[in-house]
Structure 1
Amino acid sequence: MSEIASRTLEILSLFQSQKEWTGNALSERLDVSPRTVRRDVMRLRDLGYSVDADRGPGGFYRLATGSHLPPLIFDDEQAVAIALALQTAPSSVQGMNDATARALQTVRDLLPPHLADRLQTFAVEQIDNVWDLAPPKVPSDMIALISSAAQDKQLIKFDYQIRSAQSVQDSQVVAEPHKLVVWSGRWYLIAYGQREESWHAFRLDRVRNIGLPGWRFRPREFPEDDVTRFVQLQPDRGDLNDAWPCRGTVRMVCPVELVAKWAPGGANIESIGEETTRITMGAWSWSGLLGLLATFGCNFVVEEPAELAEAAAVIARRMTHASQGIDAKARS
């Protein structure tokens, strides 16, 4: 009986995480036969839960509209996962610090005592990394609107600012939202631009005046297998030009795929040849910026500004002086 009760609670938990489940999917997830799944569903109905069933190929189970689940159904691992997720929530969402703290306390108040006590041991404090500029913040209501539009297959319309090392362009976008992605703390919307007739990763901190025109769209299949690579290779993926006190542009002898993979999330990249990439990035000092560029282990030429070129000459003399000690020791 304890196994049956545990499995019944797990089915309810699965209905919380996903609206519809096929019988085969439930059977594989629970490691039981389809016949046992049918019996479990009947047991839920006997307990007062209205579960709809669509029979035949492609059939599914789902809770009927208006059905209510128990407030919280968590096992130990799920409770810990929620506590950690709330305490390490992205800091790039405006006004979420207080909300996540209150949500964590609400979860603790509703959990059984042994789980609530266990969560107290998972107190986490985030520390900012001075090597990486804090990402721009985006409003939570924008994230909610985009998520809802993607779920309901509704078009969105917004003003968007495209920034590169050479220019700033304002454009109006009508897009089919596909999914939200967070990379290096920065929020991106993967969407199909109807006017451009192409896929793009839009930086949410550059979106303004977003709204719903009221039109729906037919879902498209995202053409890329690797979402991370798609986001990294966007030429206007980086932060605004005034984000760092020292910011410069170099032409690097390195394929754009490698530069995109290892460059910081705030860097802008541009392919200017099969083996050459233009990269614009920033740091706390000109020496710090040159140090970051040197980690790629390839030749590069400074394009701008003059301060970066001057700093490169100074660093070159320092590196030459540093290597002379080894040369002198080798000669002796």
Structure 2
Amino acid sequence: MPDIASRTLAILSLLQAQREWSGDVLAARLGVTSRTIRRDFTRLRELGYPVEAARGPGGLYRLAPGTRLPPLVFDDEQAISIVLALQTAPSSVVGLDDAAARALRTLKDLMPPRLARRLQTFEVHQIDNAWDLAPPKVPSGMLTCLSTAAQQLQLVSFSYRACSGDAAEDVAAVVEPYKLVVWSGRWYFIGYDQRERSWLSYRLDRVENLHVPGWRFTPRQFPADDVTAFIQLQPDRGDDSDAWPCRGTVRMDCPVELVAKWAPGGANLAAIDESTTRITMGAWSWAGLLGLLCTFSCDFVIEGPPELTAAAGEMSRRLARSAKTGPVRS
């Protein structure tokens, strides 16, 4: 019986790692006959695992989608990966914190002592970084709705709070959903807006009254090769104007493609011409905001607010004094 049980678990683990296996290959790998393998698969079906078999030399076996999630088998490295993922998962989806905690407790309770001792080395404590603004949370039902609509080629309609600098307005949208994206902790989805007749990205925390009216659409070819670059170059990609205590706008002598790649995820930007970009972003202090802007090592003109201009004057005087100071002697 122990041999049967361990072999059954080994087969299950192999089927989860690779979609399809030959019966002869499994028999050779496990050191048994093909007839024994066939009995093992009968046993798996009796346990509720949806195993499919194809006729032919040696037979082909694979796990098929079932009506319920059967018990899963993980090796040590897979178990450790799942525990680490549950401990470090971003909490940007409403309602998943408790589910993740329960899954983590279940895994730890079921682990053998040797693996539990090993996992003690991987206890993770997350520390908030003052420069990383916590991303807005989105409801899990919204993710499910958009993902299902994209898969079934169904239009979605919603009200969207579009932001441009410090201004915001609610607009109605009818969109062909394409893909969900997480960037810098913020949830977006990409789709073709039928009213605007263009591909756009939308911040999910700004979507309200999401509805699937039941209209289907014919899929289009996404025009960009790089989804990341597409999201980064959207002018309405960043945080709302009140997300940071200090927020300003500058005109920067730098191409928008370069600014988009290196600017914080919460920044909004727009191309003025091929070599000039307008960028609006925030920080915890005016000096900190200027420090972020200076990392681009290019000239920029402050468009507002006055507090940022005043801080720039004070920083320029401070830097001038620092430049005149001789080397520090110990």
TM tier, smaller? 0.7 to 0.9
SS at the partner of 1:136? coil
Kept in 1, the 8 Å contact 2:156–2:177? The answer is yes
Instruction: Determine what percentage of the aligned residue pairs are the same residue.
Output: 58
**Which amino acid in structure 1 is aligned with residue 85 of structure 2?**
A
Q: In structure 2, do the counterparts of structure 1 residues 154 and 101 end up closer, same or farther at CA, with 3 Å as the change threshold?
A: same
Gaps of 5+ in 1: 16-20
Q: In structure 2, do the counterparts of structure 1 residues 79 and 220 end up closer, same or farther at CA, with 3 Å as the change threshold?
A: farther
Kept in 2, the 8 Å contact 1:88–1:124? The answer is yes
SS at the partner of 2:122? coil
The whole-number CA distance in structure 2 between the counterparts of 1:235 and 1:44 is: 57
**Which amino acid in structure 2 is aligned with residue 139 of structure 1?**
P
Matched with 1:102 is 102
Q: CA RMSD in A?
A: 3.1
Gaps of 5+ in 2: none
Q: How far does residue 218 in structure 1 lie from its aligned partner after superposition?
A: 3.6
The whole-number CA distance in structure 1 between the counterparts of 2:220 and 2:113 is: 47
**Which amino acid in structure 2 is aligned with residue 8 of structure 1?**
I
Matched with 2:15 is 12
TM-score by length of structure 2 reads 0.82
The whole-number CA distance in structure 1 between the counterparts of 2:267 and 2:301 is: 17
The whole-number CA distance in structure 1 between the counterparts of 2:69 and 2:85 is: 25
Q: Are residue 211 (structure 1) and residue 211 (structure 2) matched? A: yes
Alignment of 1:150-165 (within 5 A): 150-165=150-165
Kept in 2, the 8 Å contact 1:154–1:215? The answer is yes
Q: How many residue pairs are counted as aligned between the two chains?
A: 309
- Structure 1 residues 5-39: Cα deviation after superposition (integer angstroms, max 9, x where no partner): 67622343248xxxxx5x5xx68xxxx69x99xx7
Q: In structure 2, do the counterparts of structure 1 residues 6 and 73 end up closer, same or farther at CA, with 3 Å as the change threshold?
A: closer
Kept in 1, the 8 Å contact 2:9–2:73? The answer is no
**Which amino acid in structure 1 is aligned with residue 312 of structure 2?**
A
Matched with 1:18 is none
**Which amino acid in structure 2 is aligned with residue 293 of structure 1?**
L
Further displaced range: 92-101 or 236-245: 92-101
Q: Are residue 322 (structure 1) and residue 322 (structure 2) matched? A: yes
Matched with 2:42 is 46
Matched with 1:261 is 261
Q: In structure 2, do the counterparts of structure 1 residues 188 and 225 end up closer, same or farther at CA, with 3 Å as the change threshold?
A: same
Further displaced range: 155-164 or 210-219: 210-219
The whole-number CA distance in structure 2 between the counterparts of 1:239 and 1:14 is: 40
- Structure 1 residues 68-117: Cα deviation after superposition (integer angstroms, max 9, x where no partner): 63x12111111111111111111222243333211211222344444444
Kept in 2, the 8 Å contact 1:252–1:300? The answer is yes
**Which amino acid in structure 2 is aligned with residue 283 of structure 1?**
A
Dislocated runs of 4+, deviation >6 Å: 1-4
Matched with 1:126 is 126
Q: How far does residue 272 in structure 1 lie from its aligned partner after superposition?
A: 0.5
**Which amino acid in structure 2 is aligned with residue 100 of structure 1?**
A
Kept in 2, the 8 Å contact 1:268–1:280? The answer is yes
Matched with 1:274 is 274
Kept in 2, the 8 Å contact 1:79–1:119? The answer is no
**Which amino acid in structure 2 is aligned with residue 63 of structure 1?**
A
Matched with 1:81 is 81
Q: In structure 2, do the counterparts of structure 1 residues 64 and 265 end up closer, same or farther at CA, with 3 Å as the change threshold?
A: closer
**Which amino acid in structure 2 is aligned with residue 46 of structure 1?**
T
